[in-house]
């Protein structure tokens, strides 16, 4: 039990050491009486550019807390009950084979971790390479345009999030979020992610974290097979019996399917196995890049580049009444770079990435428009996936091949004019870029909506549509194009024993929500089955 205190404010120039004394003053005690003091949340209030403040929520542990609380009449102070984050009742049904986890992104990784901790000795199947070999393959792709279709920005240890900003923000309210953040810290992430309002790890630290989690899983009896791809699912009378991996049959009656949002060939395998799926909405668009200093100034005014403030971010959205579509910023990467994120030959996809320090020259973000099954041609369940492929092929051809990206200045895009040179913002994309008309690799309704949105975004952030800001095409992997239908026990409706999980199954969006979903499906599996003896 602890006393939780909300709304403790510090000015931008006040030292964090003052937090304890301010908390003590709220309680009418001395901070020397604290048994424990913990920051629960930190957020920045930058609404007044000349008076930027930090706001904190803290937990304080004292003796005689209940007696003290009877004297306090402050709506910002309350008694916080201790709660167990995970309390799982294990099943009794015997497993003939260890549970299999397909995919080693956040969902699969955390599912496997909790399974290993509770004695289930999971087998993890990952089509890509371990994070070190995978990083070599990705660097080679970015330097030379040589794509490894099995191990790249989308596939391999850590999943697609490994080559991202490593954002840990989520809109879901779930006790498992706290558990995940703690596990990430224990595996090497900065302790500040526990309380930061907008926590992130960065691709450099995330690589270390996922490797450490993998090592723990193995130490607990789990097994990891890299460069092993799911090629088939065998079921009998609606129950899972085995899976095909690299040409070999593996007996399996419980399978967590955490394949990620870009496993298109696996979606095709699942469709042939009559797994019940349905198309879903996602978003496509472009990456935009600005000088980070412009974003800093617009967000923080005279305090831009203050040592207490990191590289600034933004969140933008606009609804077009005429076009009846929305355009919004997505996966904003302060001080980062735009990266080649293709996973299939002769198709071009981009994403954004930042390192922990976020100290690169440019800020980047996806600017995307929602598309729905009504926009996709045909009636096939995978028509959204084919929609993605179509526009990625157009972008690849527009860039001239070799995974060279088409780019255009925002101000030229708004005028339907080809760009001929950069004006202060150098595109960070590798292996290279060519000036092209991005309208040629986007649906017209997406281009038109982005154009309307850019005018609105310029009003919100001065210089957003000018100052040499550049667009790079094309962003298509915002989320999965399908949802694998599951029941109240989180199993597939068509194959019992198969647990679709995470972003690739259509049930998450981002590192934390995917990890939470992985924990949920693992819990359901463990409620039914007993640990491996």
Please determine, for residue 520, whether its predicted confidence score (pLDDT) is greater than 80: yes
Over the stretch 191-250, which tens digit does the pLDDT of each residue have? Answer: 999 999 999 999 999 999 999 999 999 999 999 999 999 999 999 999 999 999 999 999
Q: How far apart are the first and last CA of the chain?
A: 37
> What are the residue ranges of CATH 3.30.70.2700 in the chain?
2-80
Closest residue by Cα to residue 526 from 224, 118, 216: 118
Q: Which CATH number applies to 100-278+482-528: 3.30.1490.100, 3.50.50.60, 1.10.260.40, 3.30.930.10?
A: 3.50.50.60
- The H-assigned helical ranges of 301-363 are none
Across 348-354, average pLDDT: 98
Over the stretch 271-330, which tens digit does the pLDDT of each residue have? Answer: 999 999 999 999 999 999 999 999 999 999 999 989 999 999 999 999 999 999 999 999
Give me 343's structure tokens: 């996973």
Cα gap 125→245, rounded to integer Å: 8
Phi, psi of 94 (to 5 degrees): -80, 135
The answer to whether 95 and 122 have CB atoms below 8 angstroms apart is no
To the nearest whole number, what is the mean pLDDT of the chain?
A: 96
Supply the pLDDT for residue 174.
87
Cα gap 341→352, rounded to integer Å: 9
Closest residue by Cα to residue 364 from 376, 352, 356, 355: 352
Give the 3-state DSSP-derived string for 445-498, with helices as H, strands as E and coil as C. HHHHHHHHHHHHHHHHCCCCCCCCCEEEEEECCCCCCEEECECCCCCECCCECE
Give me 56's structure tokens: 């904190």
What is the DSSP-derived secondary structure letter of residue 90?
-
Cα gap 56→41, rounded to integer Å: 6
Supply the pLDDT for residue 399.
98
Supply the pLDDT for residue 6.
96
Strand positions, DSSP E, 179-264: 223-226, 230-236, 239-245, 248-251, 255-257
The pairing of beta strand 482-484 with beta strand 470-475: unpaired
Give me 26's structure tokens: 């709220």
Supply the pLDDT for residue 533.
78
How far from chain centre, in Å, is Cα 204?
Answer: 15
Supply the pLDDT for residue 85.
66
Q: Which CATH code fits 2-80?
A: 3.30.70.2700
Please determine, for residue 83, whether its predicted confidence score (pLDDT) is greater than 80: no
Q: How many helices, marked H, and strands, marked E, lie in the chain?
A: 12, 22
> What are the residue ranges of CATH 3.50.50.60 in the chain?
100-278+482-528
Across 515-524, average pLDDT: 97
Please tell me whether residue 68 adopts helix, strand or coil conformation.
Answer: helix
Cα gap 418→420, rounded to integer Å: 7
Q: Work out the angle between the directed axes of helices 106-117 and 511-528 (0-180°, nearest 10).
A: 40
Over the stretch 437-484, which tens digit does the pLDDT of each residue have? Answer: 999 999 999 999 999 999 999 999 999 999 999 999 999 999 999 999
């Amino acid at each position: 039990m602890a006393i939780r205190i909300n709304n403790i404010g510090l000015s931008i120039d006040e030292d964090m050491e003052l937090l304890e004394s301010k908390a003590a003053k709220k309680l009418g005690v001395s901070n020397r009486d604290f048994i424990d003091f913990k920051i629960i949340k930190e957020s920045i209030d930058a609404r007044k550019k000349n008076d930027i403040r930090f706001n904190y929520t803290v937990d304080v542990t004292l003796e005689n807390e209940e007696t003290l609380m009877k004297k306090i009449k402050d709506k910002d102070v309350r008694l916080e009950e201790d709660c167990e984050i995970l309390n799982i009742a294990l099943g009794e049904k015997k497993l003939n084979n260890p549970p299999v986890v397909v995919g080693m992104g956040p969902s699969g990784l955390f599912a496997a971790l909790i399974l290993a901790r509770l004695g289930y000795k999971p087998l993890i199947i990952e089509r890509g390479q371990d994070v070190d070999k995978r990083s070599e393959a990705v660097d080679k792709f970015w330097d030379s345009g040589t794509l490894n279709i099995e191990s790249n920005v989308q596939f391999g240890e850590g999943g697609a999030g490994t080559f991202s900003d490593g954002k840990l923000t989520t809109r879901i309210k779930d006790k498992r979020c706290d558990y995940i953040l703690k596990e990430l810290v224990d595996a090497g992430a900065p302790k500040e992610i526990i309380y930061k309002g907008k926590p992130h790890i960065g691709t450099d630290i995330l690589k270390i974290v996922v490797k450490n989690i993998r090592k723990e899983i193995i130490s607990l009896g789990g097994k990891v097979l890299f460069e092993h791809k799911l090629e088939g699912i065998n079921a009998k009378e609606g129950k899972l019996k085995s899976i095909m991996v690299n040409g070999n049959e593996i007996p399996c009656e419980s399978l967590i399917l955490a394949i990620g949002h870009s496993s298109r060939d696996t979606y095709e395998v699942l469709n042939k196995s009559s797994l019940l799926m349905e198309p879903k909405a996602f978003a496509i668009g472009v990456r935009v890049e600005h000088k980070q200093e412009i974003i800093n100034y617009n967000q923080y005014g005279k305090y831009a580049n203050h040592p207490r403030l990191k590289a600034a971010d933004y969140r933008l959205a606009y609804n077009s009444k005429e076009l009846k579509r929305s355009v919004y910023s997505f996966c904003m990467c302060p001080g980062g770079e735009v990266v080649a994120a293709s996973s299939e030959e002769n198709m071009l996809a981009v994403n954004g990435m930042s390192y922990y320090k976020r100290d690169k020259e440019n800020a980047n973000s996806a600017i995307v428009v929602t598309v729905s099954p009504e926009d996709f041609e045909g009636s096939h369940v995978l028509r959204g996936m084919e929609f993605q492929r179509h526009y990625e092929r157009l972008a690849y051809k527009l860039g001239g091949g070799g995974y060279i990206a088409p780019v255009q200045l925002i101000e030229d895009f708004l005028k339907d004019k080809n760009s001929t040179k950069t004006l202060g913002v150098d595109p960070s994309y590798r292996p290279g870029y060519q000036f092209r008309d991005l309208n040629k690799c986007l649906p017209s309704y997406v281009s038109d909506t982005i154009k309307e949105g850019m005018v609105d975004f310029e009003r919100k952030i001065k210089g957003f549509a000018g100052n040499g800001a550049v667009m790079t095409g094309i962003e298509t992997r915002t989320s999965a194009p399908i949802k694998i239908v599951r029941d109240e026990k989180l199993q597939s409706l068509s194959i019992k024993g198969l647990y679709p999980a995470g972003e690739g199954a259509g049930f998450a969006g981002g590192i934390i929500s995917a990890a939470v979903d992985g924990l949920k499906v693992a819990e359901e599996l463990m409620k039914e089955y007993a640990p491996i003896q």
